[in-house]
Amino acid sequence: MPFYPPTDYYCNELAPLDEEICSLLAKRKELSDENPGFPNSDLISKWSRKFGLNENWLRRMFAVYLQGEECYQPPVEPMGFLKFIPVLKSVTIENFSHTVTYMKQYSNASIVYVETELIASGRFVSLGHAGFELSIAPEYQCRQEGGSGSGKIMQHSFVVTPPLPDDICDVEFQLRVKPFPKDLEFQEVQFKEMIVTIK
C-alpha cells in the first residue's frame, strides 16, 4: 500500500535526532542478526516509567516497527516459469510426516511445496490448525504463498528468493510449526512447536 504522510509539516530541528534513531535501528538490526524477539512486559514497564512514555504505545512501537522489517518489503512475484523439479525429501516426527514434494523453478524465484500428513488411525481424527514457516539458509527469503488441506493432510507453498539451485541434494528445509489454540468442537491431534529439518 502507498504511504501518505499525515502532514506536510516537519520540525527540521528534529532531523539530527531522527537520524540518530535510524542509526540505532540499524545497530539493533545488526546486533540481533535480524531476529530481535520481543521485550518482556517488565522491561517495557521499566522503560515506560524511566522515560515517561505510554506503556501501550511502547508495546505497539516494538510490535509494529521493530518486529519485522521484511514485512514491508514488496513481495517477489515469480516470473518466467522454467521447470518442475521433484524433491521428495521427507521426515517423520511424532506421527507427523513432513515432505518437500516438489518445486517450481522460475527465473527470479522458486516455489517449494510442502505436505504434512498425520499418520494415525481413526475416522474422526484430523489435523489441528497451525501456522507454518519455512526457512532454508540466511541468504534465502521464504514467504508462504498458500495452503490447503483437510482431514489428515495439509499442503503449503512457499516462494523462495533468490531461486534455489536445480540440484538441492545438500539443501536443508526447516519447517517451523506454530499451533493455533485448540478447537474443542472436534477431536484433533494438535501440533507442537518445533523446527523440522528435512534432509
How high is the pLDDT of residue 31?
Answer: 87
Cβ-contact 132, 156 below 8 angstroms: yes
What's the length of the chain? 199
- Quickly tell me which residue has 489441528 as its cell: 128
Strands 141-150 and 126-127: unpaired
Give the pLDDT of residue 192: 81
Q: For residue 127, is it left (φ>0), alpha (ψ between -120 and 50) or beta?
A: beta
Amino acid at 196: V
Tell the burial category of 159 from Cβ atoms under 10 Å away from its Cβ (0-12, 13-18, 19+).
buried
Q: For position 187, what pLDDT does the model report?
A: 54
* Fold entry, domain 81-198: Immunoglobulin-like (2.60.40)
Q: Which of 112, 118, 128, 108 is nearest to 175 (CA)?
A: 112
Can you tell me the distance from the alpha carbon of 61 to that of 9, in angstroms, rounded to the nearest whole number? Answer: 22
Q: What is the pTM of this model?
A: 0.60
Q: Which of 123, 28, 130 is nearest to 114 (CA)?
A: 130
Residue 158 has what pLDDT? Answer: 94
Mean pLDDT for back-to-back runs of 10 residues, the chain (199 residues): 77 92 87 80 93 90 70 81 94 88 95 88 63 88 82 87 92 85 56 84
Which residue ranges does the chain devote to CATH 2.60.40.1230?
Answer: 81-198
Report d(CA 60, CA 33) in Å as an integer: 22
User: Contact, 174 vs 195, CB < 8 A?
Assistant: yes
End-to-end Cα, the chain, rounded Å: 38
- Write out the three cell numbers for 16: 539530527
Residue type, 104: K
